[in-house]
Structures are given as structure tokens and as C-alpha cells.
Amino acid sequence: MAEQEKVFVDGCISKRNDNAPDFVIVNQSYKVEEFISFLKANAKNGWVNTQTKRAKSGKLYTELDTFEPKAKTEPVTEDLGF
């Protein structure tokens, strides 16, 4: 499977505070104008899916989730004449 080019989320910064309680996973900050432009440019059916990941360096980043499920195909049934 070929790896797609990453599309980083404009206007979003993700950070983990090591002193935060366990139930706080990540802190995110949004630069409103940039983030709104990103959302409008990448919306599909009114939604934008993202994933927050950890780089090899350990830094967190948020990227556009471009996964699209393959269309389901109906099995072909032949009339066997029974």
C-alpha cells in the first residue's frame, strides 16, 4: 500500500503536558482564521476527520485523516434455474 502525503492541520497545535492528570490526553490550540480556512477546504459531507499522532522525535502533530473505505460490492448471484 502506497503511503499518502501527510496533510497537516493548519491552525492547530497539539501538545502533551506531562504534569497533566492521566485523563487529559492532549492539549490543542487553534488559530481561528487558519483553522476555519482548513476546515472549509477539507470538509466532506460537513465533516473533517483528523488524527493526532506522535512523530519519531516524540513531538505531537495533527494531520488530516484521508482514509476512505472502499465501496462495498454486492456479490454476483447467477440464476441457476432451480
Place of cell 492528570: 21
**Where are the chain's structural domains?**
12-64
- Report the distance separating Cα 50 and Cα 44, nearest Å: 12
Look at residue 79 in the predicted model and tell me its pLDDT: 67
Quick: pLDDT tens for 6-17: 999 999 999 999
Quick: pLDDT tens for 14-67: 999 999 999 999 999 999 999 999 999 999 999 999 999 999 999 999 999 998
Look at residue 45 in the predicted model and tell me its pLDDT: 93
pTM above 0.95, yes or no: no
Q: Is 41 helix (H, G, I), strand (E, B) or coil?
A: helix
- Report the distance separating Cα 37 and Cα 42, nearest Å: 9
